[in-house]
Amino acid sequence: MKFFQQFFASGTLFIWLAGGALACSLLLIGGLLTIIFINGMGYFWPKDLVQLTLKNDTRVLGEIVDTQRIPETATADFPDGQTRMQLKVGNRDVYGLDFRWVDEADIAQRTWPQDVIAFERREWGNFYGWVTAVWDGDTPLVKGRDIAWNAWYPFLEQAESLHREIHHIERDVIGAINADMERARLNLKTLELKGKVSVDSADSLQQDIQQRELAYQEQVQRLVGLYERLNRYRVTLIDVTGEERIFPVGGLVKAWRPNAMRVWDKTLMYVENIWNVLTDEPREANTEGGIFPAIFGTVMMVLVMSVAVVPFGVLAAVYLKEYAKQGLLTRMIRIAVNNLAGVPSIVFGVFGLGFFVYAVGGTIDQLLFSASLPNPTFGTGGMLWASLTLALMTVPVVIVATEEGLSAVPREYREGSLGLGATKFESLIRVVLPCAMPGILTGLILAVSRATGEVAPLMLTGVVKLAPALPVDSQFPFLHLDRKFMHLGFHIYDVGFQSPNVEAAKPMVYVTTLVLVLVVLLLNMTAIALRTRMRKRYAGASV
Amino acid sequence: MKHSQKRRQMWVLGLGIGLFMGWAGTAILGSSNAWAKDEMEDPNWVNYAKVSGVSGNLNSIGSDTLNNLMTLWAEGFRKQYPNVKIQIEGKGSSTAPPALIEGTAQLGPMSRKMKGKEIDAFESKFGYKPTAFPVAIDALAVYVNKDNTLQGMTIEQVDAVFSKTRQKGYKENLTSWGQLGLTGMFADMPISIYGRNSASGTYGFFKEKVLENGDYKDEVKEQPGSASVVQGVTEDQAGIGYSGIGYRTSSVHALPLSMKAGQPFVEPTFENSASGEYPLSRYLFVYVNRAPNQPLSPIVREFLKYVYSREGQKVVIKDGYFPISEKIIGKQLEHLK
C-alpha cells in the first residue's frame, strides 16, 4: 500500500503517461510520413516486367503491383489460402483497363524477357511490348521482331526536341501574339465605349490587329510543318498477345527496357523520373505527366498571402497591444480574434467569393476593365482573391503571435529607449518591433503551415483543375494575379476522387501529397532559418 | 491510330454489306474483348478540319461527371487552335443552367437533361429554349467487389438494396448478400452500400431511374466523387455502389443488370448501351444558348464540331465513356451548319 502511495506521489506514472502520449504522436506522424514516402517514391522506380503464361495458354505481361490472398481458398495443400497478384498490364487502348488480377494457381510459367520494352505514351498510358516495324511515312524502314534499338530510338529523341519547339511556339510565341491582339482589341473597344473613336486611331488599331493575325497565321503554318515532321516516323508495336498497333514516334514520351537495365541505370532513371514529375506539366486531365504548375501555384499563393498577412496582422497587433486603452473592449476584441481562428475555412471561402470576387472584383471590372465585359477579369476567382481569402483566414494567428512577441520584450528596453529621448513611435520602430521579430515570424510560420494545406476556400476563390497559363510569365505585366491557378491540395482531391482511372492515378496522389508535405516543410524551414538569424541578431532580447 | 488487322479484313469482307451489318460484325469480332477501347471506333467518323477565324475565350460551367471529358476536349481543341483560351469549371450539373442564363459560360455540360423549371427560367429570359447536344453515352454501372460471385441483379433488386421505399415493388428489403443467393462467406454478410452525394447528377439519375424517386436508405455511405465510390467497393468485400462506367477498374466487377426478373442480364458494354438494352444508359449533354435560325458563334460551333469529330469521340473512349452513334453525329453536324 505504501509502495503505491509513494509511486503516485513521485509522479512516475504521470511521466510515463506524458512520455507515452509523445511517443504515440511521433509514431503516428512517422507512420503517416513513411506510408506516403514509400508509396510515393516507389512509383518512380522502373519495375521489371514479368511475362506469365497461364494454364489456358494466354499470355500476360506487366509489372507486379500487388499480391493478396484469395478469401476462402484454404485447402489441405494451401493452409493459408491461395494468392493472386495484380499486374499493371498497360495497353489501355487494347485491353480496356491498365490493371489485371491473376490467380497464382493459373500461372503455368513466368519469364522475364530481356528485350521487352516499356513505352510511356502521351495518350492512353503505358504500352508494354516490342517494336516490329519502323515506318517513314507509309514506307517501312525495317521489319521484324529483332529490330535494333538504334533503328528507331533516335527518332524518339528527335521527336522530343520537336515537342519542345511546338510547346514553345504554342505557349510563348502565340501566347504573346494573342496578348497583344487582345490588348489592341480592348483599346478599340474602350475607345468605342467612350465614344471617342476617331477614324485614324480605329484604323491604326484595326491594322495592328490584322498584322498580328497574319503573324499568328504564320506561326500556325510553322506548327503544321512541325506536326508533320513529328508524325513522319511511326513504329508498329506488338503486345504479348500478338495484337499490333501503329503509333507515330511523336506520340511516345520515352522508352526503356526494364528487364535489361542494371541497378545503376535504374537509379539514374529513377532520379530522372522524379525530376520530370517536378518540372513537367500535367497530361491527360492531370492523371499523368508532372505537377509543376500545381507546385508553382501553391508556393506563389503562399508568398502573396504572406505579403498581405504580415503587415496587416502586425499593425493590428501593435495597435491592440501598444496604443489601445486596455479594457473590456480590447478583451472582447482579443476573444473575437481568437474565435476567428476557429472559424471553418469554408466559411472564409464563401466570404471571399461574396466579398472579394463578386463585390470587389465585380466593381473593379466595372471601373477598369469594362471593355472586356461580359468576360470577367477580376470578377472571377483568381490568385489575388484566393491569397487574400487565406490571408484573412490566417490573420488571427499572426495577431496573436505578434502580441505574444510584443509582451516578451522586456520593460527595460522600452523605458531605456524612452529615457534616451525617443518618442513612443520611434522606440516602437527601432527597439520593440525588432525584438518582437522572432514572435512575428513564428506567427508567419503558423500561418504558412495552415494556408498551404487549405483547399476548401480555394475551390471557391480561384483554384482550377487545369490552368491554361502560369500566374507569372514573360508577357506584360509579368505578374498576372487575376489568373486562375493550380494547387497541390486541390490536385490531390481531383486526382484521388475525380479521375476515371483510380488505380493508375493512385501513385500520383501519393507523390502529390509527398510534394505538398515537402513544400510546407521547405517554406517553414525558410521562415525558421530567418527567425534564428533574427534571434542571433537581437540575442538576449526576448529572454 | 490504325484499326486492328482483324477489323480491316472485316471491312474488306463487309464492303457490300452496308453500315449496319459492318457494325454488327465488329461487335461479334470484338466480343472476345468487349472492353477493348479501340474496337469502339467507327470508321465513318470524320477527321476534324481546322477553319480560320476561331479565337477568343470559351467558358464552360457545369457537370463534374463531364469535367474530365471537357478538360480532355479542351486540351485537344487547344492543339487545333493554340490561340483559344478555355476555362472549365465542373461543380455539378445544376450549375450549368444559371451560367448559361447569366452568360458567364457559353457551354453548359450536363450529365442529365435540363428540368422543366430550368428550361422555363432560360426561356423567360431569352424567349427560346436552350439547345442540347448529346456528346457521349454513359452507362451507370452497379459495382461490387471483385470477390463477389453474384451473376447479376434485376433493377428491382437494386432498388431493394438502395431504397427504403422500394417503389419498384420488390418483395423484401435486401440487407444481406445471402438474400441474393450468395453462399460461403457472403451468406451472412450484410450489404454495405456506397453512393454519391446529393449534389451530383449521378445521384439524381439513379434516384429517378432505379428508385423511381423513392428515398435512399440512411445506411448509404455518400462519397464526394465517383472514383471514391469505386475505391470504397474495392476495399470493402461486402460493398456495392453505383458510378459511371468510365470509373471501372480491375478490382471491381460491374454487374450485368436486367429490367425485370426472368429477363437475361445485360452487361454494361458499349454495344448494349448504344442499343439501349442496358437499363441504365444515358446521354451526356452540352447545352448552349442558340437563338432560333441564327448561327452559333464560330468558337462554340467549332468546339462542338471537334467533339463530334474522330478526335473528339476518341477522347470520349479514352475517358472511359462510350461514343455516340454515327447517325446521331450526322444529325447534330447538320444542326451545326
The ipTM of this complex is 0.72
Cell 519542345 belongs to A164
Distance CA A476, CA A465 (A): 25
Shortest CA gap B83–chain A (Å):
6
Does B131 contact chain A (CB < 8 Å)?
no
C-alpha cell at A204: 491604326
A460 neighbourhood in chain B, CB within 8 Å: none
A217 burial via Cβ count (<10 Å: 0-12, 13-18, 19+)? exposed
- Residue contact A95–B35, C-beta within 8 A: yes
Distances from the Cα of B27 to the Cα of A97, B42, B270, B271, B275, angstroms: 19, 11, 9, 7, 12
C-alpha cell at B40: 469502339
B35 neighbourhood in chain A, CB within 8 Å: 95-97
Does A100 contact chain B (CB < 8 Å)?
yes
A374 neighbourhood in chain B, CB within 8 Å: 103-104
Beta bridge partners of A282: A289
Query: What's the pLDDT at A540?
Result: 54
| Peptide bond between residue A438 and the one before it cis (omega within 30 degrees of 0) | no
Distance CA A108, CA A105 (A): 8
- Residue contact B52–A217, C-beta within 8 A: yes
Please, are residues B289 and B126 in contact by the beta-carbon 8 Å criterion?
yes
Does A385 contact chain B (CB < 8 Å)?
no
Does B33 contact chain A (CB < 8 Å)?
yes
SS3 A109: strand
Alpha helices in chain B (DSSP H): 5-13, 19-29, 67-80, 96-102, 116-126, 155-162, 201-209, 226-235, 270-274, 298-307, 310-318, 326-336
Query: What's the pLDDT at B10?
Result: 47
The 10s digit of each residue's pLDDT in A518-535 is: 998 888 888 888 888 888
The 10s digit of each residue's pLDDT in A149-161 is: 888 888 888 888 8
Nearest residue to A289 (alpha-carbon basis) of A254, A245, A248: A254
pTM of the predicted model as reported, rounded to 2 decimal places: 0.81
Query: What's the pLDDT at A374?
Result: 65
Q: Would you say residue A351 has pLDDT above 90? A: yes
Higher pLDDT: A259 or B44? It is: A259
Does B227 contact chain A (CB < 8 Å)?
yes
Shortest CA gap A527–chain B (Å):
35
DSSP per position, B121-164: HHHHHHSSPPEEEEEEEEEEEEEEETT-----EEHHHHHHHHBS
Q: Would you say residue A83 has pLDDT above 90? A: no
Does A499 contact chain B (CB < 8 Å)?
yes
DSSP per position, A39-80: HHHHTTS----EEEEETTS-EEEEEEEEEEEPTT---SS-TT
Confidence band (pLDDT; 50, 70, 90) for B7?
low
Mean pLDDT over residues A294-309, rounded?
A: 92
Does B80 contact chain A (CB < 8 Å)?
no
Please, are residues A43 and A509 in contact by the beta-carbon 8 Å criterion?
no
Q: Which residue of B has its CA nearest to A219?
A: B82
Query: What's the pLDDT at A454?
Result: 87
B71 neighbourhood in chain A, CB within 8 Å: 285-286, 465-466
- Residue contact A101–B55, C-beta within 8 A: no
Q: Would you say residue B337 has pLDDT above 70? A: yes
Does B71 contact chain A (CB < 8 Å)?
yes
Does A281 contact chain B (CB < 8 Å)?
no
Helix (H) or strand (E) holding A246: strand A244-248
Which residue of B37, B86, B228 is in closest CB contact with A497? B228
The 10s digit of each residue's pLDDT in B245-293 is: 888 888 899 999 988 888 888 988 888 888 888 888 888 999 998 888 8
* Residue burial A276-295, b: 16+ Cβ < 10 Å; e: rest: bbeeebbbbbbbbbbbbbbb
Q: How many beta carbons lie within 10 A of that of residue B85, not counting itself?
A: 18
Does A496 contact chain B (CB < 8 Å)?
yes
SS3 A261: coil
Distance CA A316, CA A233 (A): 65
Distance CA A323, CA A442 (A): 23
Among A246-255, A462-471, B159-168, the minimum mean pLDDT is found in A462-471
Please, are residues B162 and B174 in contact by the beta-carbon 8 Å criterion?
no
Confidence band (pLDDT; 50, 70, 90) for A20?
very high
Which residue of B2, B82, B184 is in closest CB contact with A170? B82
Do strands A50-54 and A59-69 pair parallel, antiparallel, or not at all (unpaired)? antiparallel
Which residue of B37, B82, B320 is in closest CB contact with A500? B320
Question: Which residues have CB under 8 Å from B319's CB, separation 6+?
Answer: A285, A500, B68, B69, B72, B246
Residue type for B87, please? Q
